[in-house]
Structure formats: structure tokens, C-alpha cells
Amino acid sequence: MIKKAGRNTNFKVGAILLCLFLILLILSLICTPYDPNKMNTQAKFQPPSFQHLLGTDNFGRDIFSRVMKGAQTVCFVGFTSVAIGLAAGFILGAVSGYLGGPADEVIMRLMDAQMAFPGIILALVLITLIGPGSVSTALALGVTAVPRFCRITRACFMQIKELDYIKAAKSRGASVPRLIACHILPNMLSPLIVTATLAFSTAILAEAGLSYLGLGIQPPQPSWGKMLFEAQAYLLTNPWYAFIPGCMITLTVLGFNLLGDGLRDLTDTKTL
């Protein structure tokens, strides 16, 4: 498995990018070079230098510190939304896939209805209803991720519950909760992990988009999407300001996508 991982370029590049992201995140928890929200009107639009590694923005705030702090926001929104989507999607998918029949029909039609609705618009509606902020962004993105997890869980359940070892476990007298926890869930972990990784990158992108539109993370909390929006006005005079958060979003999303693809290739057990 480890040997195979070493040969998989997608997995390797994705893992390296995410390691860099994690280092940035951990460092930001310990300390940042400057207070990310401290304004200094004397030092506006400074180009990258030893003092300010990535320069300063239109309020004279250190961009490097804000990028670091922004990684925390990304992480919070990503994890929370994936957790919400995974939990709700798994429960709905499990009920749907295990019971089948009318319950399956009702749940799947509800999921279809949600999927027919563009995800970002649904998130916009939800945020408008509950008000902007990082928590409501995470919640809204979590809700939009539910159908994805629901469908994959349902498919896995329908496939695995017919297998002989499930029948064998039943014939030993295992109850339904035990069957699910000990025999079905471990055998569907790999598609779930892959989906979660890919959903993480979707969430990052959506959060950046929402913040760019002004509905996601609220200032002065640093967010890469918001930084991109602020930098837009100075694109011609100070291009590096827009370049940095843009790069961060691209590289992080790329990292998660590559890791997800790599994991899918590595855990694909078509031969089993």
C-alpha cells in the first residue's frame, strides 16, 4: 500500500501540497508575524520584503499573517461542512439503502430535488436566511453536500448488504446496528473518505466564492475569498495582493483534489 502510494503521482503531489497547508495552519495557531487585523496606514501596499514577507494590503495589514489566519477559516469551514454533510448524508443514505422500499423512495426524491437546485444558490438562500458568518457558511455548505454523501452511502449499503458475509453475520445472530457498525461501515470507508476529501475542496472553493460575494466570512476575519475581493480594486497597481490569496485557494483545492483522486486509485479494489 505504501509502496503503491509512492508510485502514485496524484497522491504524492496532493499530499505534499496538503502538508504545506497543514504546516501553515499549525504555525498560524502558534503565532503569526503580525497581528492579522492590525492596520498601519503608514505602510500601505508595501511590496514583499523581509519585513513583510508577502507585502501589505490597502490597510497596511501584513498579508502573510492574514493568509495564515485565513487557513484557519478555510479549515474550520471545510471540516464543519464536511462533518455536517457526512453525518446527515450517511444517516439518510443508510436508512435509504438498508430499508429500501418507500423510505428509500422518499429520501432519494428529496435528494434529487436538492440536487436539481444549484448548490451555490441554495447556500446563498440559506445564508440569507440565517445571516452571514463562518458558522452559517459552514452550515449552508454542509447542507449542500448532503446529497453527495447520501447517494454514495446508499449505493454502498445496497451493494454490501447483499454480500455473503453480511448474511453470515446475520446468521450468527448479529443485530442490525451491529451489522452496520462492524460489517458494513468498515467495508465502505474508502469511498466515503475519497468523497469527503473531494467535498472538502468543493467547500473551500464555495467558501471563497461566498466570501467574495460578501456573504461568507465577515470582515475583519481574514478569508482568502474576501482578500481576493478586496485586492480586485488594486489589481493594476498592486497585482501581488490578488495573486497571493488566489494562489492559496488554487493550491489548496488542487491539493485536496489530487489527494482524493490518488486515494481513489489506491483504494480501488475492483479485483477483490
List alpha helices for the chain, DSSP H: 2-7, 9-30, 63-99, 101-115, 119-130, 134-160, 164-171, 176-178, 189-212, 224-232, 239-267
In SS3 terms, 204-242 reads as: HHHHHHHHHCCCCCCCCCCCHHHHHHHHHCCCCCCHHHH
CA distance 242 to 55: 11
Using CB under 8 A, pick the residue from 6, 186, 214, 219 that binds another protein: 186
Count of positions on this chain that bind another protein (CB under 8 A): 20
Using CB under 8 A, pick the residue from 53, 113, 125, 163 that binds another protein: 163
Using CB under 8 A, pick the residue from 33, 44, 124, 170 that binds another protein: 170
Measured from the CB atom, the residue of 23 and 182 that comes closer to another protein is 182
By CB under 8 A, tell whether 159 contacts another protein: no
Q: How far is the CB of 6 from another protein (least distance, A)?
A: 22
By CB under 8 A, tell whether 8 contacts another protein: no
By CB under 8 A, tell whether 181 contacts another protein: no
By CB under 8 A, tell whether 169 contacts another protein: yes
Site for another protein in 74-133 (CB under 8 A): 100
Measured from the CB atom, the residue of 46 and 96 that comes closer to another protein is 96
Q: Are 252 and 204 in contact (CB under 8 A)?
A: yes
CA distance 104 to 67: 44
Using the rule CB under 8 A, give the single segment among 80-88, 179-187, 200-208, 258-266 that binds another protein. Answer: 179-187
Measured from the CB atom, the residue of 188 and 206 that comes closer to another protein is 188
Instruction: Read off φ and ψ for residue 9, nearest 5 degrees.
Output: -65, -45
Site for another protein in 227-256 (CB under 8 A): none
CA distance 139 to 4: 37
Q: How far is the CB of 180 from another protein (least distance, A)?
A: 13
Q: Give CA angle at 140 (135, 144), nearest 5°.
A: 145
Q: Which residues would be at the binding site for another protein (CB under 8 A)?
A: 100, 163-165, 167-176, 178, 182-183, 186-187, 272
